[in-house]
Amino acid sequence: MNAKPFLVIPVVSVFCLGLLAGCASPKHPIAQNPKPPVSLEPPPAVVKTNRLVIHADQPGAEISRNIYGQFSEHLGHCIYGGLWVGEDSPIPNTRGIRNDVVAALKKIQVPVVRWPGGCFADEYHWMDGIGTPTNRPSMINTTWGGVVENNHFGTHEFMDFCGQIGAAPYICGNVGSGTVQEMMEWVEYLTSDADSPMANLRRQNGREQPWKVPYFAVGNESWGCGGNMTAEFCADNFSRYNTFVKDYPGNHIYRVASGGLESDYHWTEVLMKQNADGLKHGGQAMNGYSLHYYTLPTSNWSHKGSATKFDEAEWFNTFRHTLVMDELVTKHSAIMDKYDPQKKVGLIVDEWGAWYDVEPGTNPGFLYQQNTLRDALVAGVTLNIFNNHADRVKMANIAQMINVLQAMILTDNEKMTVTPSYWVFEMDTVHHDATLLPSELQSVDYAFGDKTIPAVSASASRDRAGKIHVTLCNLNPNQSIEVPCELQGAKAQKISGRVLTAPEMSAHNTFDQPDNVKPTEFNAFKVTDNGFVTTLPAKSVVVLEVN
């Protein structure tokens, strides 16, 4: 089939971490469906030149800083060895939490962290993770590697971690194997200041004042590892459990429901309709609806492809799949609009990112993979999509923060390095809580074989100081691309920029060479009468500041 180019660039994605029995290779339900869940073929168009128009005179929604959120699951070395080493470790730490990791995460201004899962959340019982660490019962992490979980990192440790990096906690409650009472009591333990059993238990465990917990997910991937539910059964369970997620004085919880598998639009219809009907009868609101989507180069969950050893065919297919995110966000948003035209319910993309085969010699249940320039562009494109859908996308959490999948940070005992994806998040901090400036992008094609995708991705915003920032991605690994930009309602006086690129598609940072891929100053632009023109290097992410 001959695919032809498409013009505009926003995108969203769905999916959660696959089930794993013991130490076997992870399996995902999508692997059993050979047909792609959504179209990978762009609509027809003929584009011969690039053109970007930014409507600075038509400000859009606020780009929530929570779009740049993180995800930290009890999986592999994300928690243990990643962010937690224990107070007795020779690795410098504060109350058991690595100082180097905290410093790195503060630099990218992490707004929110999702915990404890993922699939792990629906087998996690929070009371096992409180009290004196050495007295906490152990459990088997049946989802991820069949390893023993000693529960030394629990509620108090997670809330301490959030405080150290300045992030809001987003806690995922156990619906799959937990009870309504268990969830209700966890919320009380965390947020109540009353003279009550759970609040007093928190005090007994060393925390006098309640914490602020602004975000709480009622279950995770209820279609699969969270209970293998139908949409109707999930909707009923959400209504039941959500009734007992209480707002105690001084704390208001934003409640997130589990969405369906990727392009399961029926699931979205069911939950949105039930929420709308419930609100008419005084029910508790669903504030957010979860969507998960992972980018696989091969579309084959059994052989996803290498993180570092890939050719241009896999590079190209990675971005064909990354761009599906826009279709998913657009179609789920359309259903949400039908029941929620005022856009009160946020689309929460709380798992997304690139998923490859694990690094050779590592535990297949730990999902450890390297992170290259290709991943930086996956992040750049996806974040542009979320920015452009800021009216509906209110939070996103890349999977995952440390040592798992598309991580920000890799560690090995005392060693630590940040990844190319980390630098995209650092460069894009300029968009946090800024005002979206709607844009129209006409992009030339990047063709490989008989298929094409748009070569350029873009999003723009204005911060509170009035500065305009534009993130541009060039997906073509072989050619630089000139992009003229027309600024409507603003005039460029001065421009500065930064670029993230490298000579090789597979360039990545290692513990011995941590600076292989990092941002540098960028000046390939010039001011024009109606805006500016810039030349994007091949395979690059560029962020421009326009004064």
Task: Locate 140 and state its tokens.
Answer: 């088997």
Helices 231-243 & 180-191, crossing angle to 10 degrees?
40
Assess whether 312 carries a catalytic annotation: no
Assess whether 73 carries a catalytic annotation: no
Q: What is the 3-state secondary structure (H, E, C) of 257-306?
A: ECCCCCCCHHHHHHHHHHHHHHHHCCCCCCCEEEEEEEECCCCCCCCCCC
d(CA 319, CA 379): 11
**272 within 8 A of 289, measured Cβ to Cβ:** yes
d(CA 204, CA 207): 7
Exposure string over 200-223, b if 16+ CB within 10 A, otherwise e:
ebbeeeebeebbebebbbbbbbbb
**297 within 8 A of 318, measured Cβ to Cβ:** yes
Please name the helix (run of DSSP H) or strand (run of DSSP E) that holds residue 156, with its range, or none.
helix 155-165
* Four-point Cα dihedral 156, 159, 164, 169, nearest 10: 170
The catalytic position among 123, 221, 262, 327 is: 221
- Return the SS3 of 134: helix
Closest CA to 471 of 517, 507, 431, 502: 431
**285 within 8 A of 243, measured Cβ to Cβ:** no
d(CA 115, CA 278): 28
Burial of 133 (0-12, 13-18, 19+ CB in 10 A): middle
DSSP one-letter string for 394-428: EEEEES-SBSSSS-SEEEETTEEEE-HHHHHHHHG
d(CA 307, CA 378): 13
Phi-psi map region of 96: left, alpha, beta (phi>0 left; psi -120 to 50 alpha): left
**11 within 8 A of 325, measured Cβ to Cβ:** yes
- Return the SS3 of 188: helix
Closest CA to 252 of 220, 226, 214, 280: 214
The catalytic position among 73, 188, 351, 426 is: 351
Residue type, 325: M
Task: Locate 435 and state its tokens.
Answer: 């005002």
Residues catalogued as catalytic? 221, 351
